[in-house]
Amino acid sequence: MFKSVLCDMIGIKYPIIQGGMAWIADSSLASAVSNAGGLGVIAGANAPVEYVREEIRKTKELTDKPFGVNIMLMSSNADELAKLVCEEGVKVVTTGAGNPGKYIDMWKAHGIIVIPVVPSVALAKRMERTGADAVVAEGGESGGHVGELTTMALVPQVVDAVNIPVIAAGGIGDGRGVAAAFMLGAEGVQVGTRFLVADECTVHENYKQKVLSAGDIDTVVTGRPTGHPVRVLRNKLVRQFQLLEKNGAPLEEYDNLGRGALPKAVKEGDVDYGSVMAGQIAGLINKKQSCKEIIEEMFTEAEAVYKKFL
Ligand code: TUI
């Protein structure tokens, strides 16, 4: 029932895109989401180009379904990754943390479906004018780099402002969230945090346990003074960031504290001094499942909650 133009555009069964979580979204997670009928996405992030090329090739071996690559525009090798997706014949590109305008013509010339993540109406309109096929309207409930608006306020405003499909993100972790997103006018959802605890997600077990045990108020946004605010789960690193803010520390001290913090949590499992990026919906997530179980459960639930009001 919750089929949409997004399913036809990309060739997927369920209108769900997996968030391109930096250091986390690899071929294992992306292929599992795609095999389950969603759109799996490999994170480019700051990874070396040859690593991302390998992950793309592995994903092609693990699934015959469409998948995407996320390009984090703040990364130093965004230019190289932008070319890589063309060379490797990737079907869908999502972007984050910036304006991908300068790459869109090249991607369209290679037949790539382009879906930028946007935090505002202004950027959504600019993306539509530049040739994007759809946009992800991401509210500040999401994990990682966040904008200012909430999903509830952002999604309907973006829906009214553009004529391309809008995918809602931020705070969506179950079927109620999916149904709500569609009621706001979205044609699909992007989900990150719930996939962190998927069986096929290779993030460190300590990271999964931290998400599973999180409550509603356990995430916090750090790094506002840097202009790159990031939502993470509270820990000792967060307290250090908060001290910097309180003392009005120079921006380089934020850089020093944040350097290497995400892989420290993702790969080494240091959830005290590493950066444990997760969305506000972490408090709702309390069981491990396969990607297939997660997606099927979310859409069965969405249909049930929608039917209740008919
Ligand atoms: O990109 C994300 N989420 C991310 S990226 C990331 S990696 C990272 N690591 C350390 C510090 C910062 C990032 C972790 N999570 N979500 C999509 C998103 N994009 N949210 C907000 C935006 C955004 C913000 C400003 C998109 C465009 C934008 O435009 C500014 C401009 O140039 O117009």
Q: How far is the CA of 124 from the centre of ligand 1 (A)?
A: 14
Name the 3-class secondary structure at 198.
strand
Task: Give the residues across from 230 on adjacent strands.
Answer: 145, 222
**Three-state SS sequence of 235-281:** CHHHHHHHHHHHHCCCHHHHHHHHCCHHHHHHCCCCCCCCCCECCHH
pTM, two decimal places: 0.97
Say what angle helices 236-247 and 251-258 make with each other, to 10 degrees. Answer: 170
Distance CA 38, CA 281 (A): 20
Which residue is closest in CA terms to ligand 1's atom 20? Answer: 146
Q: How far is the CA of 149 from the centre of ligand 1 (A)?
A: 13
Torsion of CA 6, 12, 15, 19, to 10 degrees: -100
Q: Does 97 contact ligand 1 (Cβ within 6 A)?
A: yes
Strand 144-145 with 135-138, pairing: unpaired
What tokens were used for 201?
């997600």
Positive or negative torsion for Cα 297, 196, 220, 286: positive
pLDDT in single tens digits along all 310 residues of the chain? 788 999 999 999 999 999 999 999 999 999 999 999 999 999 999 899 999 999 999 999 999 999 999 999 999 999 999 999 999 999 999 999 999 999 999 999 999 999 999 999 999 999 999 999 999 999 999 999 999 999 999 999 999 999 999 999 999 999 999 999 999 999 999 999 999 999 999 999 999 999 999 999 999 999 999 999 999 999 999 999 999 999 999 999 999 999 999 999 999 999 999 999 999 999 999 999 999 999 999 999 999 999 998 8
Task: Give the residues across from 17 on adjacent strands.
Answer: 39, 190
Which residue is closest in CA terms to ligand 1's atom 30? Answer: 98
Looking at residue 223, its amino acid is G
Distance CA 57, CA 52 (A): 9
Q: Does 22 contact ligand 1 (Cβ within 6 A)?
A: yes
